[in-house]
Structure 1
Amino acid sequence: MRAVRAWLLAGLGWALGCSASLATQASDLAPAAVARSPESSEPGRAPSAAATDAYVESAVTKVQARLHQLRSSAKRPFSLFAYDVPTPHAVPHIIAIDEKDRVWVTESGGRFARNFIDVPAVNKVARLDQGGTITEWTTGTEGSSPMGILFGPDGDMWVAERLANRISRRSADGTRLVRYDIPTPDAWPTAIVLDSQGNGWVTETMADKLARIDAKTGQVTEVPLPATKTKSTGIAVDRQDRVWVAMRDVGTLGRYDPRTGTFDQFKLPTPDSKPCGLVVDGAGQVWFSMRNAGKIGLIHEDGSIQEFATDNRHGGPFFLAADKRGDIWFSELFSNRVGRFEPKTRTFEYFELPGKDAFPAGIALDSKGNLWFAQQGSNVVGVIVRTDLSYLAGETPGAGPGGKIVNARHEFVELEVPTPQSVPGIVAVDARDTVWFTQMGGGWVSPGFPPGPGGSAIGYYKDGALHELKTPTPESGPTSMSLDPCGDDVWVTLRTANRIARIRDFKITEYAIPLPGALPVGIAVDLDHNVWVALSDANKLARMTPEGEWRFLDMPNPKAEPRTIFVDSANEVWFAQKTGNRIGHLDKDRWTVETWELPTRLGWPLSLMEDADGNIWFAEMRSDKLGMFDRKTKKITEYALPVQSAPFKVNYDKASNAIWVSTVFYNAILRFDLTKKQVVSIYKIPAEGAWMGGLDRDSQGCLWFSEQFANKLGRLCIEGVSSATLGPGATPGTGASAGR
């Protein structure tokens, strides 16, 4: 929108100044041998000798996510991404998330029961990384059927290998592997958990025992359960380091106290309920699933039990996970869905999975609150994306801003991007009304972005058609974009390739950033043709001169993650720190920065823009606010936007006295009135769950935007705002109340 910008600046009396250069206690019912601590029992077996990593990398596969836009039982839209496991009939079973949010899954194969996924056992563990690559390792023994998997605080990975009758512990760097053999033959070690001292506890499903792996010595001892033919599976450790076990076939929960050697048993009220999964929530409460009863349950410290019935008696609640809000998520083995139970309201919400016979099993939450699950029957790992960023701050959604909403007559046009799942991102309209946009691809680091390869193209709309320019580096991940205010060049960050790119005459030239792993995100060009880049992982700002010389400036606060950079009308450089939660100004002469912290904790400032008075406006993506930095007073003022809207891009419109805002989760473009200081219009885009991204205006005042998950480029023309003539199918004007 170069023409609009030139008009805008001239109208404000600004000169560009461009450079010429270019429980009931039941321990008394147990046999005496049961009520002993591992320390007093037989010493068991010592671990196998430490060896080089016997986990052999067997395959590395690039996978493409399949996006499904669905609605929950509460009629809420949700986005689900599915990834096929490369090994056929792998029967992905248990999910674990490591500290880098990489998703690990055990490939157990079958040999459970003749009438349930009766396929050969498998011996693999797989990892899905942010780049959309699934790496598979064999466990060293054919048909070992790995089941339970978890990561210790030291990063070591623990795996229970059911048919190999052992536990494997692999170091984070893969250089060390220790095997712990279960003393009882054919015990079927199934689930595994660690206590606060780092000791491993394992259910022996066929042996009616628990196994304990000593954190210091590595010795394995066994503790018999106080019942037989239990087919015990689920296991958990509470805050007192007591070990809970789901004794499935006898309808009982067991609680073992290693300090006293006592075993308490709690018979469940519902007969033949078959408890399977166990989880301890953030408040220390113990929850469990009842596969045959269609219920989940809560057991209190005194042994009393509450049961909560789902809407499907035969759904088969299976594995559990507790999120930071205390909600309990669960897989339903036989109903082809996952569910969420909210204890505060005692209500359920269900999320149907695409296809049939998925038989979902293990579930896990990543650091962003996204729910991952393994689909045994369909050989898929899936994720339901969380669209509530208040979760990350440990908050609950607040109230909307209120007020009257009035929409003018308007018209949307949507254009499909040729490359599937390109994830179109930032949008920029040049002086000739060519609409440019980045194609980010997957593997981005923001909440909800699915693992996948980076994009390989930059798109543009010209003369009524969409076109794509392939980047010289494949899967380069084009992310942010900026126009040279004094020329025709378009500049783009290539986050995956660690480069920036210049588009001139529709040809791309790439420039390497001389700093490995910098993660270039934001980009801006000043009036002297210098290119400024926000290097998020390097925690630096960078400048590349027209001569190709680089200079770097460290952020004063660690791990600030600078994401946005902006050059104002006076050729001054501004930036926003996502994690640092600050707005900053760079003094080019002194090569120093000054920053100002946002009033709201974890606001996630993004997208900077200047108004006619020189104030700097920005979106606060996580806190659902619009921020304004007053250059005179050096104070930040915040304005509430609709709840769970996730504002992303802002665009100043002098003629309309407004800030236009794209919203990721609200699926709308907002008009924020600068006089009323509130949202006065909300234009919902046609595609549901589209995840809006970039935003810019053309010479007619129409708004161009990207739809990241819908894989579209869109245009919104509004009567009274744009000069474009609307068609007969335009949407009539409406009036409504603001808020959620």
Structure 2
Amino acid sequence: MLNATSVLCRSGQRRTFSTLLAALLLAGTPPLLSAAGAHESARPQTYTVEMIDPPPYFRPSELNIRVGDTVKWHNAGPEGIHIVSETGQSIFSGDVSIGTEWRHTFTRAGEYEIICGRHFFMRSRLTVRNADGSIKPRYEFPYQSAFREFAVPTRDGLPRMIINNRIGDTMWFTIGGGDFYGFEGIPPQNKLAEVDRNGVFVEFATPTPSGDGSSVGVDSLVMDKFGNVWFTERIANQIGKLTPDGEMTEYPLATEGGYALGVDIDRNGNVWFAERYGNRIGWITPNGEITEVEMPEPDSEPRTVFVASTGLVWYTARAANEIGYYDPKAQTFHRIKIPTQIARPAGIAETSDGTIYFVEMVGNKIGKVVGGRVVEFALPTPFAAPFKIVADADDKLWFTEVFGNAIGHFDPETGKIREFKIPTEDSRPGGIALDDDGNVWFTEQKGNKVAYIDLPELERITGERLVASVHRRDEAAPAAAARPKQTIQAHQTHAYDSVDVSAGGRKAPAAAPAPQVVAPLSTQSGAVSGSIGCCESTEQADSDPPWRLTAIEFSVPTPGGFPGNALAEDERGRIWFPEMFGNKIGVLDSKTGIVEEIALPEPVSMPTSVALDGEGNLWIAEFRGNRLARLNTRSLALKEFDLPREAALPSSVIVDEGGTVWLTELGANRIAAFDPKTETFAEYALPRPESSPLGIASDGDGKLWVSLTNEEYGQVARFDTRTKKFVLFDLPQGADSASGILVDGSKVWLALGGSGEVAAYDTETGGWRRYALPGEGAAPFQIALDRNGLIWITDGGGFGTDGANQIVALDPVTGRSRKLAIPQPRSKPSGILIGSDGAIWFTKKGTNTLARVVLTTTQ
């Protein structure tokens, strides 16, 4: 998209820079202008409310607005810092300092009581009306009116797992907080809580010093027949017990850093637990005696335990990609491999006939264990990320979809799957349980709510029979029979939009497909492969290196996001990328295939390039926004910096060895240096007008190399950061345009879109070596160097061409290459990155995907 290289048009004509620039801007305009036009036609309004220290505190104190309008709260002081919130905690500004403001756009009608989160006596009323003047909330789906949601009193509590109260009419849940993947910006918590059907909460904190949950992280819980609540502390690696009288006891586990997660209870009152990083399961007796059992495979990451009616203790192992059980009598494990690769199994449930079901978070499926084998059922919504599952008294299964933002319902007899979307956007439901009337309760981790579905109401709206009660409490019954049939929840390292690698990102059919069966692990050799590649390397008669290429795809969640021209990898192996038309920054967990998106605050920013510094900051070039942005990858705090010159069109960004951030300014014919300490810019003009700088790379020794896209000049520039001077070098065949650029020691590599070549300039000899790319219409765009010395090239062309629609791996020593042909037309492979583990990642703008190349030797 952003290669304003004015590659030679196939008719032999050249585009001038001004023509290219206009075309480039127009190329990004249609989807963005259409959205702006729709917004204008709706005529949303912005209202200002002054927050002041003396009464009436909010001015005006009452306000009537419409759905889609924005309210801007300005702190006029003169002395107090205020927080904009409301009694239902649907909005929360954080601290608003004197002289600053915070704004919120209201998307749902209703009456809101606005309060100051620091001074509860400061109150005002806000009425949000629909277009027809009504104030009743409008739901996306009619059945959402059957949901009952209650905000958790602890701010950012991140409620995790939930169970039915066996001796009362309430539900119990954990308030565990964050500090795990996907919730890094939220601190851990150390609380348990009880809630009734009216949304009345009672909270209990663990006896942590200073009441601080940073060393605790309460996760999963179970109740014994006496009403004692047993729970896990993942960070402290302890088992806790809360009695009905409010007394709390903690039992440290032996394995340091074991990360205790899921729990369940057997008929003898023994509480079973899973230690994810301790690689163990174990049990604690009612008297506090602890026994641990090592898992059969190292680093298998057990996360959920479930005591079946047979007394067998089932578990799911995240890294081992298996479900299995431990027989306490025989003291043996039985392991069953899951057919879907990287399934990330999580919750477990059992129906009345003893059948075990479980969910695959990344596999995006429900699994059923049949005779030591696994049968799988794909979910209708791709990347829904099912997390926890529970069976009702009619043997129907209910489950949470973390990224589908829904509660699912599965009928094992018919194979039919229904999904009920949660009213709160991106609530990330976690634990799930049934109360004594069969209502489905669940936690909303990001929504910071506990909710239930009023099943009689849901049945009335949908016209389907869905109501079923769990086991009624029977004090005379043994503990095993009294236990509500539910999954005892476990920890999942979340992120934001899961990708089904085995399905190549394609949507699964609504009906359950033909089941897929796999034999137990003990009868297999090696791992089960379930990945479907997007493309495969093409044999070439003139070059036949001893390896072949395939690729696996990961969909970008936002339709038309258009992943941009650069990728960056952080210290945790996450892959960051810009979404040019999505106006977002995406991040992919390379281990789970799960994608998170962070929206940029200003519309039409059009991020094109990203780079990471040594402090965990992601730097973003906002092409249309004419800004440089800094995103902290841990806290997700974002700050933007306007460029000194209008219409500079920042295109590429890097961070040099000294921590200075450098940008190319395509429209201003300059490069810019940004000092993160002083937050100031310095600009340096190219020696020739309209050079159109695009790519930039550092040699690590004070010199920058800049690719120039004006093919009439046919040059590349070197900039000395000490002398602040440019030197220009002619390209090997003169009239050509350079886009991607790479420095490898004394070699400077360039992607030459006009000639369909890559070329290497030797700074020691002053000579060039050229390599023609295979394929008709080749127009290389970006390049990267792997640990084996291979040069990797994306060939999706720049503006006005799709190139040869391929990835090429070039051996610069032999000159031999292998291409990865992409079957989808106009895929526009663009940005490319070599990961720290050697994996090759690239973006495909045209198909809105990221892809990972898999290289295998053929000798």
TM-score by length of 2: 0.38
Which of structures 1 and 2 has the larger relative contact order (alpha carbons within 8 angstroms, sep 6+)? 1
TM-score by length of 1: 0.43
